[in-house]
Amino acid sequence: MLDGVLSGVKVLDLTEDVAGSFCARLLGDYGADVLKLEPPGGAALRRMGPFHHDDPHPEKSLFFLLLNLNKKGATLNLETDTGKNILRRLAGYVDVIVESYRPGYLESLGLGHESLAADNPGLITTSITPFGQEGPYSQYQGGEIVEYAMSMVMSISGVQGREPLKHGGFQAQYEGGLFGAAATAMALFAQGNTGQGEHVDVSITECLASTMMATQTIYPFLGGVQARRRAEGSNFENPMPCKDGWIIVQAGGGATWEDIANFFEAPELLEPRFADRAQRARNGAEMDRVIIDAIKDREKWELFPKAAAARMLFGIVQTPMELVDCPQLESRGFYREVEHPVIGKIKVPAELFKLTETPYQLRLAAPTLGQHNREIYVEGLGYDAEQLVQLRQLGVV
């Protein structure tokens, strides 16, 4: 019996970045056999923090660790003839290649999708890049802030009168990875039926843009251009400070407006100026002030369960530490413990969603550099031990 939903799928991960690595990790999380091929000097991600105990050792990048769970790893220099031949051999055995090089780079090495698929028509190559494989900006440099800028997201993030604001962290890259994994899964389903592969062209900028459904359509339906939020409280648009942090609240859900006024112990909210959605939109700044005043001495952890009991739509601003200790995430098995040869035992965020028939398994920690070279090249491809040494001396692995 297959124990993962993608068991039997073989993946080569050629990526050095966040988006591509996350895509390949998701395939591995759900059962695929993933082999990460790094240049002999290691993937760029190994140099990205945070590091375990702040020690910037290449085997201690926590970013590399979390994006490469459930993968094996080998090294290969694609810019040598032997390296190219080895990649061509490996590509003949796999269902999926995930790559995130600048469009055209693999083609320039003779390793583009068409050339590899000639010998393996079922091959799916998933390319995840800032702007996609084709189009006037396809050769341009991307990156988190540039992709947010060109996707419409920044045009509505932040406040009026100030500069547009990117979202924190590298969430755009994770979006590229998840959306890319989704397109890959669909290509895999089709491949299982027809035997035919695809070159899957994912644009991270378009991933972000595709989430702007209310923003994009306001133009071709009305001619409107969506604005950033007003800086002053404007009808629930900003987190509101309470005694020990911030809360976020919305009207709607299972709570009536009266329930909400009672919850805040703020009878002013029942005045006619806040009576309906249109009034609250008009008098949003005042409404926010009433609520902020009502919660200034209350604590978010007191308010959160009470708001839920009142069937309100209500959130609290949690910090990373709070998320690490979250009982809900614990109950969902979100975190797992992994044993890494250099880092040791460590808790990692693991499961994105649950599948009942094929429960999530954290099978492998991220590979150390070249950890599986022997397994892949000697046991897999049949080179002998001496040849592996030779490959090492030639700078191939």
**Could you say which residues in the range 51-90 bind other proteins, by CB under 8 A?**
51-54, 62-63, 65-67
Residue 50 is a binding residue for other proteins (CB under 8 A): yes
Of residues 227 and 394, the one with the C-beta less far from other proteins: 227
Residue 217 is a binding residue for other proteins (CB under 8 A): yes
Q: How far apart are alpha carbons 66 and 204 in whole angstroms?
A: 20
Residue 394 near residue 74, CB atoms below 8 Å: no
For residue 376, the SS3 value is: helix
Of residues 308 and 394, the one with the C-beta less far from other proteins: 308
Could you tell me which residues come within 8 angstroms of residue 64 by beta carbon, excluding any fewer than 6 positions away?
21, 43, 45, 46, 48, 366
Residue 274 is a binding residue for other proteins (CB under 8 A): no
Of residues 324 and 389, the one with the C-beta less far from other proteins: 324
Residue 11 near residue 27, CB atoms below 8 Å: yes
Using CB under 8 A, which of 237, 259, 271, 299 touches other proteins? 237
Residue-by-residue DSSP string for 232-251: S--SS-S-EEETTEEEEEES
Of residues 321 and 393, the one with the C-beta less far from other proteins: 321
Of residues 319 and 393, the one with the C-beta less far from other proteins: 319
Q: Which two tokens stand for residue 35?
A: 């082999």
Residue 115 is a binding residue for other proteins (CB under 8 A): no
Q: How far apart are alpha carbons 362 and 349 in whole angstroms?
A: 10
Q: How far is CA 205 from the centre of its chain?
A: 13
Residue 41 is a binding residue for other proteins (CB under 8 A): no
Residue 260 is a binding residue for other proteins (CB under 8 A): no
Residue 342 is a binding residue for other proteins (CB under 8 A): no
Site for other proteins in 118-137 (CB under 8 A): 131-137
CB of 371 to other proteins, least distance (A): 20
CB of 111 to other proteins, least distance (A): 16
Using CB under 8 A, which of 36, 46, 71, 113 touches other proteins? 113
Dihedral angle of Cα 120, 126, 132, 133, to the nearest 10 degrees: -20
For residue 97, the SS3 value is: strand
Site for other proteins in 350-379 (CB under 8 A): 351-358
For residue 222, the SS3 value is: helix
Q: How far apart are alpha carbons 56 and 54 in whole angstroms?
A: 6
7 residue type, one letter:
S
Q: How far apart are alpha carbons 111 and 106 in whole angstroms?
A: 5
Residue 142 is a binding residue for other proteins (CB under 8 A): yes
Residue 167 is a binding residue for other proteins (CB under 8 A): yes
Q: How far apart are alpha carbons 96 and 239 in whole angstroms?
A: 43
Q: Give the number of residues in contact with other proteins, rule: CB under 8 A.
A: 158
Using CB under 8 A, which of 118, 331, 339, 393 touches other proteins? 331
Kindly indicate which of the ranges 274-282, 286-294, 362-370, 371-379 contains the residues binding other proteins, using the contact rule CB under 8 A: 274-282
Residue 3 is a binding residue for other proteins (CB under 8 A): no
Residue 314 is a binding residue for other proteins (CB under 8 A): yes
Of residues 156 and 378, the one with the C-beta less far from other proteins: 156
Nearest alpha-carbon partner for 235 in 294, 297, 278: 278
For residue 166, the SS3 value is: coil
Nearest alpha-carbon partner for 382 in 118, 90, 96: 90
Write a three-state SS string for 23-74.
HHHHHHHCCCEEEEEECCCCCHHHHCCCEHHHCCCCCCEHHHHHHCCCCEEE
Of residues 84 and 311, the one with the C-beta less far from other proteins: 311
Residue 321 is a binding residue for other proteins (CB under 8 A): yes
Binding mask 280-309 for other proteins (x = CB under 8 A): -x--------------------------x-
Using CB under 8 A, which of 78, 218, 292, 362 touches other proteins? 218
Residue 168 is a binding residue for other proteins (CB under 8 A): yes
Of residues 44 and 378, the one with the C-beta less far from other proteins: 44
